[in-house]
Amino acid sequence: MKDLEKIIYILKQRGFVFPSQEIYGGLKGVYEYGPLGVLLKNKIKNLWLKDTVFKRENIFLIESSILGLRKTYEASGHLEHFHDLLIECKSCHQRFRADHLFEGDYGEVNYKEGKALCPLCQGELTEARTFSLMFKTYVGPVEELASEAYLRPETAQGMFYNFKNVLNSMRPKLPFGIAQIGKAFRNEITPKNFLFRMREFEQMELEFFVKPEEASNWFEYWVEERFNFYLKLGFKKENLKKHVYPKEELAHYSDATVDIYYNYPFGFKELEGIANRTDYDLKRHSEYSGEDLRYFDEEKKEKYYPYIIEPSVGLDRLLFAIFVEFYDEDEVDGEKRNVFRFPPFLAPIEVCVLPLLSNRENLVKKAQEVYKYLKENDFICVYDDSGSIGKRYRRQDEIGTPFCLTIDFQTLEDNTLTIRNRDTTEQERIKIEELKDYLKEKLKF
Ligand code: ATP
């Protein structure tokens, strides 16, 4: 089992993830991303975009608003359905989500006279009451029902109420998709498990519109595509699982749902959900807005509501899975080493350039030249000349930099340098003029 506390400590020390607003005591369920965290997040977003949007035809990217009308969330069903059941302990005042409590997330639940007891202190529990997960606010100066607005709890609704806008402007035929990456907000009762359950998080969602009779085939297709995406990212197959929902556990809008589970340090849990949302969303938005959101099928000469297949993943949950999957510890030259074995295409820093000795002007000058050359060629690159070469290598290992380029005395003679491989720690010598192609090849997705 990987030591989560240690990983979280490294992530903070090395500028990946910080607790939120720590200097004021912190904000629970919210995190800040540091310089390396942002680089890694951007890489993940770009890979998702490449795989889900840009390599395909007829998938369009949008950015919809975070603030949503009350009407939008009445139509979506969120105001009616998006609740959790909250139970509190009367003694220790710990709050639980009822489903998590009874699924054993807090340990075994004992009963007294038929009533469940607090798993933490065996105290008496309150009755379950509903708790809305939506963050409410008001638009404009007057706090009244008409100005009520909500922070979106998922990006999906933006794709539904913009369905006609995309259809009319881009003129696609079924099947086609609308995709989006953006923030979502849920007032989770018990945010926990680091980046797994947050109150402010980011989603990467695709709404894929299809002919109703083709929906189940497209559903199967997307389950496979999305599962394979994680294999392409380098996850071990045994750390992934498909969880098929039984009919009685499906959400109100869903006809079929498969979750992709990842083996987090606290067990296999949902990383991504793929749902067949049927025509629920477009029908509801038509009904509530009065706009006809049906699609006109020119071949069939008829109008109908397309079905929607939705693969939806939390970027932060994926980032968390990546940290867990690729963190490793080993020994190099008799010394313990912490290392993130990110595949090169995921690494936040791709290359580090180091002069062998920092007090030799000619080595420093040459190293700076190589560093500038790589920057100009769009590699994500850092320069480091502080401390012993071994210490510098270790610092890069700990942030997952796959390649360290060392400029030594031979470089000055024949324009070659050494490339150190993070995983094997082996070095090979290569001509500087071959560097660009070499690195491009190694960094390919
Ligand atoms: P859960 O059952 O874990 O609460 P969910 O089934 O409600 O999740 P969805 O509504 O399907 O989640 O959201 C799609 C994706 O968004 C999830 O697969 C997950 O990756 C991500 N996600 C949902 N809630 C959170 C959260 N509170 N923090 C981080 N990511 C989240």
Q: Choose among 251, 245, 153: nearest CA to 202.
A: 153
Give the distance (Å) from ligand 1 centre to CA of residue 314.
6
Tell me what pLDDT residue 105 has: 86
Q: In this predicted model, what pLDDT tens digit does every residue of 395-430 receive, in sequence order?
A: 999 999 999 999 999 999 999 999 999 999 999 999
For residue 348, how far is its CA from the centre of ligand 1 (angstroms)?
Answer: 25
Token pair of 416 as six digits = 């070659």
Task: In whole angstroms, give the CA distance from residue 33 to residue 316.
Answer: 10
For residue 85, give both structure tokens: 């059941």
Would you identify the CATH topology of the domain 4-82+152-323?
BirA Bifunctional Protein; domain 2 (3.30.930)
Q: What is the pLDDT of residues 98-132, one digit of tens each?
A: 998 998 888 889 999 989 999 999 999 999 999 99
Going by alpha carbons, the residue nearest to atom 21 of ligand 1 is: 314
The yes-or-no verdict on residue 1 having pLDDT over 70 is: no
Residues 6 or more apart in contact with residue 27 via CB below 8 angstroms: 20, 21
Mutate to test the pocket of ligand 1, among 270, 313, 318 (most ligand atoms within 8 A of CB): 270
Using the atom order of ligand 1, give the atom closest to the CA of residue 270.
18
Residues whose CB is less than 8 angstroms from the CB of residue 322 and which lie 6 or more positions away in sequence, other chains included = 40, 44, 233, 342, 346
For the stretch 178-207, pLDDT in tens is: 999 999 999 998 888 999 999 999 999 999
Tell me the average pLDDT across 4-15. Answer: 96
- Closest residue by CA, ligand 1 atom 3: 270
Please, what sign has the CA dihedral across residues 361, 366, 370, 372? positive
Percentage of the chain beyond pLDDT 90 is 92
Residues within a 6 A CB radius of ligand 1: 154, 186, 188, 197-198, 201, 203, 270-273, 312-314, 316-317
Task: Please compute the mean of the pLDDT values over residues 172-177 and round it to a whole number.
Answer: 98
Q: Which of 36-40, 80-84, 208-212 has the lowest mean pLDDT?
A: 80-84
* pTM of this prediction exceeds 0.85: yes
Which tens digit of pLDDT belongs to each residue from 288-326? 999 999 999 999 999 999 999 999 999 999 999 999 999
CB distance 435 to 388 below 8 Å: no
Strands in 146-266 per DSSP E: 148-151, 176-185, 200-210, 240-244, 256-264
Span 361-388, average pLDDT? 96
Note the pLDDT of residue 103. Answer: 87
Residues belonging to the chain: 445
**What residue's CA is closest to ligand 1, atom 18?**
272
Residues 68-75 have a mean pLDDT of 96
| Averaged confidence pLDDT in the chain | 96
Q: Whose CA is nearest to atom 6 of ligand 1?
A: 273
Nearest atom of ligand 1 to the alpha carbon of 251: 6
Q: What is the mean pLDDT of residues 67-93?
A: 94
353 CB neighbour count, 10 Å cutoff: 26
The secondary structure of 135-162 as a DSSP string is: PEEESSS--SGGGEEEE-S-SHHHHHHT
- pLDDT category at 141 given cuts 50, 70, 90 is confident
Helix 315-326 vs helix 35-49: crossing angle, to nearest 10: 110
Percent of the chain at pLDDT > 70 equals: 100
To test the pocket of ligand 1, the residue of 131, 203, 264 to mutate (highest count of ligand atoms within 8 Å of its CB) is: 203
Instruction: List, for residues 236-279, the tens digit of each pLDDT value.
Output: 999 999 999 999 999 888 999 999 999 999 999 999 999 999 99
Domain ranges in the chain with CATH number 3.40.50.800:
349-442
Residue minimizing CA distance to atom 16 of ligand 1: 314
Taking the CA of residue 186 as reference, the ligand 1 atom at the shortest distance is: 27
Q: How far is the CA of 270 from the centre of ligand 1 (A)?
A: 7
**Number of the ligand 1 atom closest to the C-alpha atom of 312:** 14
pLDDT band for 144, please (50, 70, 90 cuts). Answer: confident
Which of the listed residues 317, 319, 320 should we mutate to test ligand 1's pocket, taking the one with most ligand atoms within 8 A of CB?
Answer: 317
Cα of 238 vs centre of ligand 1, distance in Å, is 22
Which class in CATH covers the domain with range 349-442?
alpha beta
Tell me which residue has its CA closest to atom 25 in ligand 1: 197
**Please, where in the chain does CATH 3.30.930.10 lie?**
4-82+152-323
Residue ID of nearest Cα to ligand 1 atom 2: 270
Contact indicator for 95, 88 with CB cutoff of 8 Å: yes
Radius of gyration of the chain (CA): 26
Q: Which two tokens stand for residue 298?
A: 């020119």
Mean per-residue pLDDT, 365-392: 96
Phi–psi pair at 345, nearest 5 degrees = -70, -15
